């Protein structure tokens, strides 16, 4: 399996290099690449199925780094079909929402739904309308680690909370040993890494800790990391890189950043067996989500406390945030065409091949209907 994975990663890298000219438009933030790239999706992408509907010119966007590899894959196919250049900066969810509410970009990516004050701010940009959340990309937030000699590691919510809050500081701590009786845990300091930038990944990771172990995680949560101590790095790529190069490190990021020296923790949820982060286990968790948005907004409430067998609890959904009404005339055709494509059956098919979870059918059907009504 390891050899197959290495071969696949090598093939993906070559595929990405071959289309580097087409993807030069995503240069801003292009350091935030994980183990899977758009090259891996080329065999399933079908440019002839894209409906351009007058799309032209260039689109600038910003936001979630969690979905960057998905955006790269989608941009490759969409740009080939429609000739539209898309520059997705992947500066983080916070940066994307801010740019959107300031009218600098026609749509943003965020791993957290808009807050009430952000919706209010968007009304100044969306003339006669407001910003809405369209769930488009799913996936597990992997807890990645690098501990020499430890190939399988199980943690639960309390141990995770204590590790990232500096309460458990060594890998041979009794609480970790109890969960991993067969592992040879070293007498080694834990190096915990978190995001330095405002991040929806941070928001969802801490929502999991708040929901499952409030006695051990007493912070209010949000996109900004609140716990004291630990070390920080910018964007998912930065956290993953620090974990990769540091023996004893642990951090959180999307599944596509696992591999090449970084292993993923399996989570003891109370189910029959610990659950590893996979696209299938994430989809099982997302299917249990409830739509809580009103009107055309499709924001979701995830069930972080699930104990269902095979459901991975630390899961995020990335939203594409766009005006329901009042979009700028010069960017609406391209924005609408791109969102239509990524919500389409072909667009969603790409995701599972690059370590993302497609949206459940009930949810994505509503997304498609909402995209058609954008004006």
Name the more confident of 256 and 20.
256
User: What's the mean pLDDT in 85-97?
Assistant: 94
Measured CA to CA, the distance from residue 84 to residue 81 in angstroms comes to: 8
Strand, coil or helix: what is 232?
Answer: strand
Measured CA to CA, the distance from residue 45 to residue 31 in angstroms comes to: 24
Inter-CA distances, 156 with 182, 259, 305, 346, Å = 16, 21, 12, 36
Residue 66: per-residue pLDDT? 85
Largest Cα–Cα separation, the chain: 62
- The model's pTM is 0.75
Residue 200: per-residue pLDDT? 87
pLDDT tens by residue, 11-60: 433 333 333 333 222 222 333 434 444 333 443 456 767 999 889 999 99
Q: At what angle do helices 68-82 and 332-343 cross, to 10 degrees?
A: 120
Measured CA to CA, the distance from residue 321 to residue 301 in angstroms comes to: 16
Q: Who contacts 39 (Cβ-Cβ below 8 Å, separation ≥6)? A: 11, 12, 13, 14, 15, 16, 17, 18, 19
Inter-CA distances, 40 with 14, 45, 82, 140, 371, Å = 9, 10, 21, 19, 27
Name the more confident of 247 and 11.
247
pLDDT tens by residue, 115-128: 999 999 999 999 99
Give the DSSP H/E element, type plus range, for residue 320: strand 315-323
Residue 45: per-residue pLDDT? 59
Beta-bridged to residue 107, according to DSSP, are: 322
Give the confidence band of 239 by pLDDT, cuts at 50, 70, 90: very high
Contact 323, 125 (CB under 8 A): yes
| Strongest mean pLDDT among 5-14, 51-60, 100-109 | 100-109
Q: What angle do CA 351, 140, 298 make, to 5 degrees?
A: 70
pLDDT tens by residue, 264-301: 999 999 999 999 999 999 988 998 899 999 999 999 99
**Is 70 exceeded by the pLDDT of residue 337?**
yes
pLDDT tens by residue, 184-233: 999 999 999 999 998 888 999 999 999 999 999 999 999 999 999 999 99
Q: Which residues of 147-185 are buried (b: 16+ CB within 10 A; e: fewer)?
A: beebeebbbbbbbbbbbbbeebeebebeebeebbeebeb
Measured CA to CA, the distance from residue 310 to residue 89 in angstroms comes to: 34
pLDDT tens by residue, 60-77: 999 998 899 899 999 999
Handedness of CA 91, 199, 253, 238 (dihedral sign): positive
Measured CA to CA, the distance from residue 204 to residue 154 in angstroms comes to: 20
Residue 65: per-residue pLDDT? 86
Measured CA to CA, the distance from residue 278 to residue 297 in angstroms comes to: 27
**Is 70 exceeded by the pLDDT of residue 95?**
yes
């Amino acid at each position: 399996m390891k050899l197959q994975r290495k071969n696949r990663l090598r093939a993906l890298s070559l595929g990405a290099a071959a289309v580097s000219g087409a993807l030069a438009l995503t240069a801003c933030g292009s350091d935030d690449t994980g183990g899977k790239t758009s090259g891996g999706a080329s065999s399933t992408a079908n440019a002839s199925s894209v409906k351009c509907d007058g799309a032209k010119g260039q689109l600038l966007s910003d936001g979630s780094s969690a979905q960057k590899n998905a955006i790269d894959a989608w941009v490759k196919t969409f740009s080939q079909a429609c000739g539209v250049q898309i520059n997705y900066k992947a500066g983080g969810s916070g940066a994307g929402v801010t740019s959107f509410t300031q009218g600098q970009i026609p749509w943003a990516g965020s791993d957290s739904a808009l807050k009430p004050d952000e919706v209010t701010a968007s009304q100044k940009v969306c003339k006669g309308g407001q910003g809405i959340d369209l769930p488009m990309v799913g996936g597990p937030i992997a807890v990645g680690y690098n501990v020499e000699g430890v190939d399988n590691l199980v943690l639960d919510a309390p141990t995770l909370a204590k590790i990232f809050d500096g309460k458990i500081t060594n890998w041979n701590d009794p609480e970790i040993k109890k969960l991993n009786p067969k592992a040879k845990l070293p007498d080694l300091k834990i190096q915990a890494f978190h995001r330095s930038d405002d991040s929806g990944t941070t928001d969802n990771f801490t929502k999991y800790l708040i929901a499952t172990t409030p006695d051990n995680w007493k912070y209010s949560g949000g996109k900004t990391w609140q716990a004291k101590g630990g070390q920080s790095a910018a964007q998912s790529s930065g956290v993953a890189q620090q974990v990769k190069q540091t023996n004893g490190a642990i951090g959180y990021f999307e599944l596509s950043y696992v591999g090449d020296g970084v292993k993923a923790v399996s989570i003891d949820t109370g189910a029959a067996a610990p659950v590893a982060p996979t696209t299938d286990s994430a989809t099982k968790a997302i299917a249990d989500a409830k739509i809580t948005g009103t009107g055309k907004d499709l924001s979701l409430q995830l069930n972080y406390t699930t104990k269902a067998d095979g459901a991975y609890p630390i899961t995020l959904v990335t939203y594409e945030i766009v005006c329901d009404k009042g979009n700028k005339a010069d960017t609406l055709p391209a924005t609408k065409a791109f969102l239509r494509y990524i919500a389409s059956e072909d667009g969603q098919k790409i995701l599972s091949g690059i370590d993302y979870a497609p949206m459940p059918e009930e949810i994505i059907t509503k997304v498609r209907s909402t995209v058609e009504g954008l004006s």
